[in-house]
Amino acid sequence: MKTTARNQFALAAVLLLTATFAPAQGINFTKTQLLTEQLAPGFYTLTGSPAVDPGHPEGAGGRIGVLVGPDGVFMVDATYAPLSDKVVAAIRKLSAAPIRFLVDTHSHPDHTGGNPNFAKRGVLVIAREEVWRTLSQPLPPAVAAVIGSVASLTDPARLPVLTYGADAQLKFRLDGETVEVIGLPPAHTDGDTIVKFEQANIIMIGDFYRNYGYPFVDSAHGGSFAGVLQALDKVMELAGPDTKLVPGHGTIITRASLPPYRDMIVSVRTTVQRMILDGKRRQDILAAKLTAPYDAKVPGGHDALPAGLGTSADRFVTEIYEELGGK
């Protein structure tokens, strides 16, 4: 198959999400700790320690949400498989109640790698139908070799048991909380979900928003920046001024952070579209440094990505260029 920028960045998506390029460069799971933060009564986040995950230097793996109470534990995302015992240990410091439910915000292995370990503990794994479909598909051998131990590609327990569509909304009532599981249009991937905790006034928003590095979509699995804009609009509709918005990576935010993020995507997208119409090619558009007005406010935006894949700023602009039909 001919190598194109689209193919390169589709493969890069998997590489960057697993960050396990070789044993010497991979994640040191023995040094990875889980940092617990309480955001509301009965609600906590577990975030991997920084500087051990080459793909996510701000914090290893995807952030986990945990609701605890007498009715049991409700989890959002499961991070990498080798961290499952540490996740369970961290939860046990919060509650001795059984872990009952696990919702995947999307299919990437830094969020779903631990699925089979929790399923074997009797946890019901819940996700979009698209997540089931992605996790059930074999990966190219080279990509499968890269993923290594962070997620099983064969264990049937990795697959969600309860699935739903893009327009679905599930409600759970436990531990004095109303939990709403809400499907989104294709954004970061084609199987994105947000999870709203009504009484706690918290929404777990997955990876279509991040404030470490520039926005990233997995176009190989249906993601698009057009969908990211719709997802941002949905969260702005649901969130109040004091709602805590919890992304899978980066720092916790409020609704006030979303309009500038949306405006940045629209501005860069509009400029790239104009440059394409003017006959500019990818190298010309990258040379224009379209993220310069935002660089000072985006930590990690110009840090070198693993495997010589440039920076997240260049990846962001390249993905927009490809989405808009650039050759």
What is the per-residue pLDDT across 99-131, written as a single tens digit (0 to 9) for each?
999 999 999 999 999 999 999 999 999 999 999
pLDDT above 60 (res 188): yes
Total-model pTM: 0.92
pLDDT at 46: 98
Give the Cα separation of 62 and 213 in Å (integer). Answer: 15
pLDDT, one tens digit per residue, over 202-218 is: 999 999 999 999 999 99
Q: Please count the helices (runs of H) and the strands (runs of E) in the chain.
A: 10, 12
User: Mean per-residue pLDDT for 295-311?
Assistant: 87
Write the CB contacts of 270 (distance below 8 Å, at least 6 apart in sequence): none
pLDDT above 50 (res 21): no
Is 20:147 a contact under the CB 8 Å cutoff?
Answer: yes
Terminal CA-to-CA distance of the chain, rounded, Å?
Answer: 16
Report the share of the chain in percent with pLDDT over 90.
Answer: 82
Q: What is the CB neighbour count within 10 angstroms for residue 90? A: 18
Distances (CA, A) of 237 to 92, 148, 210: 35, 39, 19
pLDDT above 80 (res 47): yes
pLDDT at 310: 85
pLDDT at 290: 98
- All domains of the chain in start order, with CATH: 5-259 (3.60.15.10)
Q: How confident is the model at residue 326 (pLDDT cuts 50, 70, 90)?
A: confident
pLDDT at 307: 66
Long-range contact set of residues 2-5: C-beta below 8 Å, sequence gap at least 24: 5/282, 5/318, 5/321, 5/322
Q: How confident is the model at residue 142 (pLDDT cuts 50, 70, 90)?
A: low
User: Mean per-residue pLDDT for 186-202?
Assistant: 98
pLDDT at 264: 98
Q: Angle at which helices 258-277 and 225-238 pack, to 10 degrees?
A: 160
